[in-house]
């Protein structure tokens, strides 16, 4: 499955717009989002023409926050097997 890029960029003179561009997912922040955010700001920093970066979003929401479906890959399958029990738990 190939997701659409989470950002688009527009430039005009010394201004750059970094646009959150996944309105169908309410611009949730996935792992790809964080990698792209770093990459885009490194590019803006290296561009002597860019003096201001404005962040905006497409759609109804600026962002709904962390993409929990994407983050689930970081914590496993969520099964009880992976969860630690408190040391005082006796199972009764």
pLDDT digits (tens, 9 = 90+) for 37-92: 999 999 999 999 999 999 999 999 999 999 998 888 777 665 555 556 555 655 55
Domains of the chain: 7-82 (3.30.300.220)
Q: Supply the pLDDT for residue 1.
A: 45
Q: Cα dihedral angle (92, 72, 25, 63), rounded to 10 degrees?
A: 80
For residue 19, the model assigns a pLDDT of: 98
Q: Measuring CA to CA, how many Å separate 83 from each of 33, 40, 47, 53, 87?
A: 28, 37, 46, 42, 12
Gap between the Cα atoms of 81 and 87, Å rounded: 15
Q: What is the mean pLDDT of residues 27-44?
A: 94
Q: How many Cβ atoms from other residues are within 10 Å of residue 2's Cβ?
A: 4
pTM: 0.74
Q: What is the pLDDT of residue 86?
A: 58
């Amino acid at each position: 499955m190939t997701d659409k890029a989470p950002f688009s960029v527009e430039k005009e003179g010394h201004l750059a717009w970094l646009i959150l561009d996944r309105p169908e997912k309410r611009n949730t922040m996935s792992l790809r989002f964080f990698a792209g955010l770093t990459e885009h700001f490194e590019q803006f920093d290296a561009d002597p023409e860019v003096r201001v970066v404005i962040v905006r979003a497409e759609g109804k929401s600026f962002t709904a926050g962390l993409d929990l479906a994407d983050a689930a890959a970081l914590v496993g399958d969520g099964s009880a097997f992976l969860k630690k029990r408190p040391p005082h738990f006796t199972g009764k």
